[in-house]
């Protein structure tokens, strides 16, 4: 029995409202933890990019000012 055959005689609200709600209830914790992991990873990547950019900026600033002072 295919999924289409199972849902063939069901009203529209079962397919489009009841089944997604049940899926969110059952898999909600998994979805939330995956979403939290992805958001946390993106935040860490953003912090990494900002820190590396700041380091490059400081090193370039220091190198340009030390080359002019005659070191």
In this predicted structure, what is the pLDDT of residue 14?
92
Q: What is the pLDDT of residue 66?
A: 76
Output the six-digit token pair for 40. 């946390």
pTM, full prediction: 0.62
pLDDT one digit per residue (tens) for the chain, 71 residues: 788 888 888 999 998 999 999 999 999 999 999 999 999 999 999 999 999 999 999 999 998 887 765 55
pLDDT computed for residue 6 by the predictor: 85
Q: Give the separation between CA 20 and CA 16, rounded to whole angstroms.
A: 7
Q: Which residues of 30-50 are buried (b: 16+ CB within 10 A; e: fewer)?
A: eeeeeeeeeeeeeeeeeeeee
Dihedral class, residue 11 (left if φ above 0, else alpha if ψ from -120 to 50, else beta): beta
Q: How far is it, in rounded angstroms, from Cα 6 to Cα 70?
A: 82
């Amino acid at each position: 029995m295919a999924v289409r055959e199972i849902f063939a005689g069901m009203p529209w609200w079962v397919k489009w409202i009841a089944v997604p709600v049940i899926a969110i209830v059952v898999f909600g914790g998994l979805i939330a933890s995956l979403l939290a992991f992805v958001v946390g990873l993106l935040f860490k990547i953003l912090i990494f990019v900002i820190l590396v950019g700041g380091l490059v900026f400081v090193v370039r600033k220091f190198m340009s000012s030390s080359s002019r002072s005659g070191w």
